[in-house]
Amino acid sequence: MTFTINWDKNGVYVKFRGVVNAQDLIDANNYVISNANFESINFQIFDFLDIEEFKITSYDISIIGVMDKSQTDVKKDMKVAVVTQSDYVREITAEYDKIMSGSNWETNIFPSLEAAREWVISE
């Protein structure tokens, strides 16, 4: 497994390492949205700072986007913070944003975990 998940009362933090492929991202997303705590959280932080490679295509991120978009009926508001310094991860996140448009889920990209944490707890 290339990721770890930590929950707190307001959100979830998912830390990725090594080579991240589509199945890793789908598995992490499934763990988050199927957890009993999902309905009570306000944010998700996905940390890609320590990855070696990001093997996610536009098609792969569309699967994640469809999974998340289907959750917007149940979980109306959510902040999704992506922590990365990779241009490619930023590009794929922009694809995710397009899929999530029209929902109340907000996505933002940050170069540091500290900046992401500040954003997710802000009003």
SS3 93: helix
pLDDT digits (tens, 9 = 90+) for 68-88: 999 998 888 999 999 999 999
pLDDT digits (tens, 9 = 90+) for 102-116: 999 999 999 999 999
* Structural domains of the chain, with CATH: 3-121 (3.30.750.24)
pLDDT digits (tens, 9 = 90+) for 32-61: 999 999 999 999 999 999 999 999 999 999
- Please list, residue by residue across 33-56, b when 16 or more beta carbons sit within 10 angstroms of its beta carbon and e when fewer do: beeeebeebebbbbbbbebeebeb
SS3 14: strand
| pLDDT number for residue 73 | 87
Return the CA Rg of the chain.
Answer: 13
pLDDT at residue 1 above 70? no
pLDDT digits (tens, 9 = 90+) for 55-65: 999 999 999 99
| pLDDT number for residue 123 | 76
